[in-house]
Structures are given as C-alpha cells and as structure tokens.
Structure 1
Amino acid sequence: MKITHVEAHRIGVPAADPPFQWRNGLAGSPAVGDGAVLRIGTDEGAEGVALFARPGAAVLLQDLVDRVFRDELVGQDPFQREWLWERVWELDRIQELPLPALGLIDIALWDLAARANDQPVWQLLGGFREAIPAYASTSTFATTEEFLDVADQCLALGYRGIKLHAWGDARKDAALCMALRGHVGPEVPLMYDGSAGFDLPDAVYLGRALSEADYLWYEEPMREFSITAYKRLAEQVQVPLLVAETSDGAHMNSADFIAAGAATFGVRTGTTLRGGITGAMRTAHLADAYRLRAEVHGSDIPNHHLCMAISNTTYYESLVTSTTVTRERHVDAQGLVHAPVGPGIALPHENDYPAELHRFVEGHTN
C-alpha cells in the first residue's frame, strides 16, 4: 500500500454561543472560527483524516500540504508511522512547524491504519480501559459566585471533579480556590490550571494555597521555558505539579521536567501538543517508567481514544464554558466517558464537523 494523495479541506467553525473567556491576558473564544481537515489516501482505497483548528488553520494547512507534506508523503508506506513521525521532526528543524501541526500526519495515519484493520484507534494502540471518569474543566467566569454555581451544576450532572481556569491574579485565584474547597467539601477532586499566567513568586504564593486546600494537581502556572523555575517551584510547594503541556519536543522535553524533579504529579500528554498519537504514547510510557501520571489534555476525539489506551491517566477533560452547564455528549450521567466503537478515530460525519471542531478549538486554547 502506498500513499497517493494528500489534501487539505477548509471547514468553517461556528462562534461559541455563548462566548467565553480565559484568564486576563489571553484571548477568549473567537468571533469566527477556522478549521481544516487533512486527508491522506492510498492506492488501495484506505484513507485517514485529522482535524486542525486554530486561527488561519485552512490557509496554514493548505500551505503545509503544498510546500511540505505532499512531497514527503506521496509514495510512502502509510503503515510506517514511526519512520514518518521521525521524518516530521526532521522537517520541523527547518520549517518550525506550529506545535499543533506536528502531529497531524501521525493522527491521520493512525486513523487510516485503524480503519484498515476495522478497529477503533484505542484498540489498535493495545487498549487499557473501556470507560474513564470525566472532570469539568471550566473557562473563566466573572465572579466567585458563578464558579461555585457552575461547580454545583457539574457535580449534580455527574462530573467526578472540577478544574479551574481562573483570572490570572495569584491572590484572587488563591481565594477562589479556597472558597471552592470550602463549598464542595473535602472529598471532591479539585485541580487548578494557571494557563502560564504567573512568575515564580506568584506561582509559589498560589501553590501554597492549593496545598492547604488539598488540590489534586497544579497545572502550568508559568510558561514552560524555564525548567529550573519549575524545579524551584516544586521545592517550595507541596501541591503536586502537572507540567510540560505546551513545551516543544514531545517526550524529549517532558523527560527533562521529570529528571529535574519538577513533575511531582506527572506530565501532560495529548495528540495536539505532543506530536500526535505516537508522541502522546511515547510521553505516557516515559512517565509510566517513573511511576508518574500522563494526563490527557483536551476533549477532542483523538484524545478520547488516548484516554482508553493509556494506563497512567486519571480523567477525561471535559470543557465547561457556560454558566448554564450541559454535559458533553461523551459524558454519561455517572460522569463516565466510554470507549469509541467505530473504526479509526470515528470522526463524525462531515455535517457534524463544525461542532466537533468547535470543541477542538475550545479544548486547545486553555
């Protein structure tokens, strides 16, 4: 089997309704979305696809296909995913590919292989579980009262934990985190995501509040350029750190966080920011060797498969972006997400792509 065609197709993404916000300093939901599909086909009719959503996605993906991807892929064996994954990193040396673009080819090739074998991707990966609990991962709301009300709704709907994306003010966020713990009681798992909003002194201040409030993990309080800063944070707070979400280099960079003692809970993994499915699995296996967690980031469908294939992940991340909460369609009344059953990645039909891409955009801008 050989790859014969590589195509990019634009797909419009509707604006979020209602619109939502992230912390101070970050853009909220875009007024107009943009998405694209990478499609890889073969001489035997097998095909695989991957979704790509970010501002300018369609133009960027078409440019990459025309300039780089098509020439590299046509004529190749689509089942040589490891070789092609390494080849993408060679291309990145000169092309400086956007981090979410690094895994697109890999995701499409896993989709192709699983379809060819009439299996879901998670089963082709080996399979570990058929269901996983979901936590509610909030966008940023205006007041503490809104956060507490959203938490009540999420727990009533079955969600097994709450993760906050707050304002990016260390003292206000610390007070919110303490208030939420007091509101839900000691048994509910709580997490906090700083979206890289702090320097080291403020990260330490907030981390000590999270320790006192017994939060399960403290995620990305600082930009992930300085592993030394994260090492010093780990030395000064007791709340476990979940790190290496947006740093480049997939498992290669995650290894340095672990070696420095900065990943005291574990590392982030996922198809979008860790180099596709292959990079995500390498990251998970690396973390497992150190008996650490590899928590899957984002709620798009490829990461749904990862959650079922990785032994050392705890939850599925389900985004909650409105003060009126409805469960994501993958989450049942018991707060569980069940394994996909269709072959490949089992993307929705083309008419459903805008909604799926909308979730993809939400899941990868936090």
Structure 2
Amino acid sequence: MKITHVEVHRIVVPPADPPFRWRDGLSGSAPVGDGAVLRIGTDEGAEGVALFARPGAAVMLEDLVERVFREELIGQDPFQREWLWHRVWELDRIHELPLPAFGLIDIALWDLAGRVYNQPVWEVLGGFRRQIPAYASTSTFATVEEFLDVADQCLALGYRGIKLHAWGDARRDAQLCLALRQHVGAEVPLMYDGSAGFDLPDAIYLGRALAEADYLWYEEPMREFSISAYQRLAESVSIPLLVAETSDGAHMNSADFIKVGAATFGVRTSTTLRGGITGAMRTAHLADSYQLRAEVHGSDIPNHHLCMAISNTTYYESLVTATTVVRERHVDDRGMVHAPTGPGIALPLDFQYGSELQQFVEQASA
C-alpha cells in the first residue's frame, strides 16, 4: 500500500456561543475562522483524516502541504508511522513547524490504520480501559461567585472534579482557590491551571495556597522555557506539579522536566502538542517508567482515544466555558466518558464538512 494523495479540505469553525475568555493578558475564544481537515489516501482506497481547527489553520495547513508534506508523503507506506513521525522531526529542523501542526500527519495515519483494521484507534494502540471520569475545566469567569455557581452546576451534572483557569493574579487566584475548596468540601478533586501567567515568586505564593487547599495538581503556572525555574518551584511548594504541556520537544523535553524533579505529579500529554498519537504515547510511557502520571490535555476526539489507551492517566478534560453549564455530549450523567466504538478516530460532529468527508464523521450516538 502506498500513499497517493494528500489533500486539505477547508471547513468553517464557528465562534463559541457565548464567547468566553481566558486569564488577563490572553485572548479569548476565537471568532469564526477557517479550519481544515488533512486527508491522506492510498492506492488501495484506505484513507485517514486529521482535524486542524485552530485560528488560521486552513492557510497554515495548505501552505505546509504544498511546500513540504505532499512531496514527503507521496509514495510512502502509510503503515510506517514510526518512520514518518521521525521524518517530520527532520523536517522541523528546517521548517520550524507550528507545534499544533506537528502531529497532523501522524493522527491521519493512525486514523487510516484503524479504518483498515476496522477498530477504534484506542484498541489498535492496545487498549487499557473502556471508561474514564471527566473533570470540568473552566474558562475564566468574572467573579468568585460565578466560579462557585459553575462548580455547583458541574457537580450536579456528574463531573468528577473541577479545574480552574482563573485571572492570572496570584493573590486573587489564591483567594478563589481557597473559596472553592471551602465551598465544595474536602472530597471533590480540584486542580488549578495558571496558563503560564506568573513568574517564579508569584508561582511559589500561589502554589502554597493550593497546597493549603489540598488541590490535586498545579499546572503550567509559568512559561515552560525555563526548566530550572520549575525545578525551583518544585523545591519550594508541596502541591504536586503537572508540567510540560506546551514546551517543544515532546517526550524529549518532558524527560528533562522529570530528570530535575519538576514533574512531581506528572507530565501533560496530548495529540495536539506532543506530536500526534505517536508522540503522546512516547510521553506516556516515559512518565510511566518513573511512576508518574501522563494526564491527557484537551477534549478533542484523538485525545478521547488516548484516555482509553494510556494506563497512567486519571481523567478526561472536558471544557466548560459558559456560566450556564451544558455537559459535553461525550460525558454521561455519572461524569464518565466511554470508549469510542467506530473505526479509526473520527471527526467531531461540531462542524459542517461537506459530503466528501461525511464517511469520517463520528456517529451522533457516540
């Protein structure tokens, strides 16, 4: 079997309704934008797809396919995913590929393999579980009272924990974190994500408040360029750290966080920021060898498959962006997410794809 065509299909990515925001200093939800689907096909009819829905995705992916990817892929064996994953790393040395685009080829090839084998990709990967608890991962709301009300709604809907994305002000965020713990009681798992809003002194201050409130993990308080800063943070706070979400280098960079003792809870892994399925699994296995967690970041469908395939992950991350909470369709009323059943990975129902891509879209009952 050989790859014979590499295509980009543009799709419209609708804006969030209602719009939402992140911490101070970051932009909020994107307006309507041009997303894209990468489609890889073969001389025997087998095909696979990967969704790229970030702002500017269509222009970016069309350029990469025309300049780089198509020439590299045509004539290759689609089952040589490992070789092609390494080849993308080689290309990155010159082209400096955007991190979210890095794993698109790998995702499409895993999707292709699942369709050939007529199995969901989490089963092709070996499979570990058939369900996993979900936590509600908030966007940033205006007041403490709004956060507390959202938390009440999430718990009533069945979510098994709450992760905060707050304002990026260490003292104000600390007050929120303490207030939420007092509000929900001692038994509800709570997490905090700083979205890289702090320097080391403020990260230490907030980390001590999180430890006092018995949060499960403390995630990305600083930009992940300085591993030594994270080492100092780990030495200064008792709250477990979840690190290496956005840093370049996939498993290689994650290894350095672990080596210096900065990954005291574990490392992040995802198809989006760790180089597709292959990079995400390498990261998970690395963490497992140190008896650390590899928590899956993001609630898109490829990461849904990862949650079912990785032994050392704890939760599925489900984004909650409105003060009136609607439970994500993949989460049931007990807060559980169940393993996908269709072949491959599947495109989400959220977008209009056109008839040429309908065969790849998840079933409405999923």
**With structure 2 as the length reference, what TM-score do the two structures score?**
0.96
**Which 4+ runs in 1 deviate beyond 3 A?**
348-354
Q: Distance in 1 between matches of 2:150 and 2:258?
A: 34
Aligned in 2, Cα 1:8/1:289: closer, same or farther, shift over 3 Å?
same
Distance between the aligned counterparts of 1:118 and 1:126, measured in 2?
A: 14
Give 1:87's aligned residue. 87
Counterpart position of 2:335: 335
2:286 is aligned with 1:286: yes
Distance 2:43 2:243 in 1: 42
Q: CA deviation at 1:9?
A: 1.0
In the aligned structure 2, how far is the partner of 1:55 from the partner of 1:297?
19
Residue 322 (structure 1) shift: 0.1
In the TM superposition, 1:1-366 aligns within 5 A as: 1-348=1-348, 352=352
CA offsets 1:8-58 (integer angstroms, 9 cap, x no match): 111001111000000000000112222100000000000000000222110
| In 2, Cα distance between equivalents of 1:96 and 1:128 | 34
C-alpha distance in 2, partners of 1:105/1:75?
Answer: 14
Q: Aligned pairs, how many?
A: 354
1:349: how far off? 6.1
Counterpart AA for 1:84: L
Shift of 1:348: 4.1
SS in 2 for 1:282: helix
Residue deviations 1:298-317 (CA, integer Å, cap 9, x gap): 00000000000000000000
Does the aligned pair in 2 maintain the 1:250–1:275 contact within 8 Å? yes
Match of 1:192, SS state, is: strand
CA distance in 1, matches of 2:72, 2:270: 24
How far apart, CA to CA, are the structure 2 residues paired with 1:349 and 1:199?
39
Distance in 1 between the 2:222 and 2:309 partners?
29
CA–CA distance in 2 between the matches of 1:73 and 1:133?
38
Corresponding position of 1:358: none
Measure the CA separation in 2 of the matches of 1:3 and 1:22. Answer: 41
Instruction: Flag structure 1 segments of 5+ consecutive residues without an equivalent.
Output: 355-366
Task: Provide the rounded CA distance (Å) in 2 between the counterparts of 1:285 and 1:107.
Answer: 18
Residues 121, 94 of structure 1: alpha-carbon distance in 2 compared, 3 angstrom cutoff? same
Task: Give distance in 1, aligned partners of 2:165 and 2:12.
Answer: 27
The amino acid of 1:140's aligned partner reads T
Distance in 1, Cα, partners of 2:302 & 2:34: 19
Distance 2:353 2:24 in 1: 30
Instruction: Report the Cα distance in structure 1 between the residues aligned to 2:353 and 2:335, rounded to whole angstroms.
Output: 25
Q: Which residue of 1 aligns with 2:363?
A: none
How far 1:208 sits from its partner (Å)? 0.1
Alpha-carbon offset, residue 346 of structure 1: 2.4
Gaps of 5+ in 2: 355-366
Contact 1:340 1:346 in 2 (8 A): no
Shift of 1:202: 0.1
Q: Distance in 2 between matches of 1:219 and 1:172?
A: 17
Letter paired with 1:26: L
The alpha-carbon distance between structure 1 residues 180 and 66, as it changes in their structure 2 partners (threshold 3 A), is: same
Q: Could you say what secondary structure the match of 2:33 adopts?
A: coil
Question: Root-mean-square deviation (CA), in Å?
Answer: 1.1
Percent pairwise identity: 85
8 Å Cα contact 2:13-2:351 kept in structure 1: no
CA distance in 1, matches of 2:150, 2:353: 28
Task: Give the counterpart letter for 1:12 in structure 2.
Answer: V
CA distance in 2, matches of 1:61, 1:68: 10
